[in-house]
Amino acid sequence: MMKELLYDWLGLNEWLFKMLYAFSFPYLHDIWKAMSYGYGYWAAGLVAIAVCVRYLRIRHTATETQLENMGEFMVGLMVAFSIVWCAVYTLQNISLMPRPWMVFPDLVAAPAPVLWHEGLPASAPAISLMLACLSWKYAGARVRRWLVFYVVLGCLASIISGVNWPVEVVAGAIVGWLGARVAQWYSRFGRKLVAS
pTM: predicted TM-score of the whole model, two decimal places: 0.80
Q: How far is CA 7 from the centre of its chain?
A: 20
Looking at residues 103-122, what average pLDDT do you find?
58
Are the C-beta atoms of 184 and 132 separated by less than 8 Å?
Answer: no
Q: Flag the least confident range among 62-71, 78-87, 109-118, 129-138.
A: 109-118
| Rg of the Cα atoms in the chain | 19
Calpha distance 133→127 (Å, rounded): 10
Q: Has residue 110 got a pLDDT over 60?
A: no
Sign of CA dihedral 176, 153, 109, 9: positive
Q: Has residue 131 got a pLDDT over 90?
A: yes
Helices 166-195 and 123-136 pack at an angle, to 10 degrees, of: 40
Calpha distance 168→122 (Å, rounded): 5
Instruction: With cut-offs at 50, 70 and 90, classify the pLDDT of residue 3.
Output: low
